[in-house]
Structures are given as C-alpha cells and as structure tokens.
Chains A and B, each alone.
Chain A
Amino acid sequence: MTDPALLILASLADGDKHGYAMMVDITAFSGVTLGPGTLYGAITRLEEKGWIRPVPSQDRRQPYKLTAAGRRHLAEQLDSIGQFVATGRARLASA
C-alpha cells in the first residue's frame, strides 16, 4: 500500500499530526517514506476534498485532523482492501 492519501488518512486516524510527524508515523507503520513534495501534494488534495482540516495552532508546524467524511472514506477504502486481501488469500489457498 503506497497511496499517499490513504497513508495520510490512516496516520491521522489515531490523532492529529503535523507534516513531519505524519512522515515519521507513515514510515513506522507502512515502511513507506513519503518525500515532502509528495506528502504536501496529498495534504493539499485531501484538504480540498474535505477529508482533513487544519487544527488551530500557534506553532509554524501545522497539525491536521481527520474529518468525519475523511473517516468514512478511509473506512470504505479499508473495507475494499480487506475484501481484496481476503479474495486473494482464498484463491491462493485453493490453487
């Protein structure tokens, strides 16, 4: 799983984070390292879609949080991936 948008949504699912914290968290749970350009390209798109929003902060480091719509989208995507994984494993087992 290397889709930056999905990785960011999964990262924010357990709490608000700023860009660098997302980068570190994503590397830790997925093994994927997102570059700054890739990360912020995805953040821009996710905010435009209303799936994440910035949290008021005094710091230059801007934390983001998952919106309700973002949480629903993440759940749908994970269901879809789960179904794919289950089907793949079943076919491998029966082959």
Chain B
Amino acid sequence: MSGPPRVLLHWVTRIYPRAWRDRYGREFEAMLEDLPQQGQNWKTVWDISKGAITMRATQRPVKLVKVTAIFAVAGLIVAGGIAFAIPDSFVSMSLVRADSSIDGKVLSTSLERTLTDEWCSA
C-alpha cells in the first residue's frame, strides 16, 4: 500500500488553530520536510490530525461551537467512508398465498411462501 502524498501532510497541518500556526507553523513545516520517506505514512497523517484536533479542543477560551463543528465534520467523513465502503444491496420480498375455497369460504391455506431476492453489487 503506498503512503500518502507529501502534500497531504502539509494539508492536515491546516487543521491546527490559526494562532498556533502563526506561532509554530513555519518550524513545524520545516520538520515535516526533514522526515525521511518512511516517516511519511498514514500513521503520521493520523498523528498530526489528532494533535491538531486536540489543540483545537483544548485551546483557551474553549470555542465550543467550533469544536462541535469539527467533530460533526469528522463524524460525517467517517460515516461517508463507511457508507461508500459497504456494497449496495437490493432486497425484494413478495408474499404468495393460495387458498382453496368453496363459495367464498376459505377451506385451507395451502401455500404461503415468502420469496426474497437479494442482490448485491460487486
């Protein structure tokens, strides 16, 4: 599995609060450029994202609306990823019932089957 593009490491840095980026952004970017190829992996992307979200959640004063929005967006991204990862499926059900009757009186229910078709995308 190939690693993330280098530009992604710099892109996730933008999740950090503006004040933090103003203070530490330049040196943080310089450090990312020093990382060897094997250090530029999805684990690093996750580590930076986690650091940025933690920084936002703990900054003073706590901006509750922003933190809520960030977690809402993160939840949507995760949910969307899961939704697209699960293959589409189609289920149809039909009930077939045959009764024997004389003069409108039902004598027996001879056949009742539920037919179910399932179709899943590849």
Contacts and interface: CB of A to CB of B under 8 A. Distances in A.
A31 interface: no
Contacts of B55: 41, 44
Residue among B34, B48, B52 with most chain A CB within 10 A: B34
Interface stretch (B24-32, B76-84, B90-98): B24-32
A91 interface: no
Given A20-B34, A20-B35, A44-B20, A37 B48 contact: yes
Interface in B49-98: 49-52, 54-55
Interface residues of A, number: 17
Tell me what chain A mostly uses at the interface: helix, strand, loop, or mixed: helix
Contact of A41 (B30, B43, B51): B51
A40 B24 contact: yes
Contacts, number: 58
B32 A37 contact: no
B8 to A, nearest CB: 13
Contact of B51 (A23, A40, A62): A40
23 contacts: A18-B27, A19-B27, A19-B31, A20-B31, A20-B35, A35-B47, A36-B44, A36-B47, A36-B51, A37-B49, A37-B50, A37-B51, A38-B47, A39-B31, A40-B51, A41-B51, A44-B20, A60-B26, A60-B29, A60-B30, A61-B27, A61-B30, A62-B30
Given A60-B27, A60-B29, 6 more contacts: A35-B51, A36-B31, A39-B31, A40-B24, A44-B20, A61-B30
Interface of A: 18-20, 23, 35-41, 43-44, 59-62
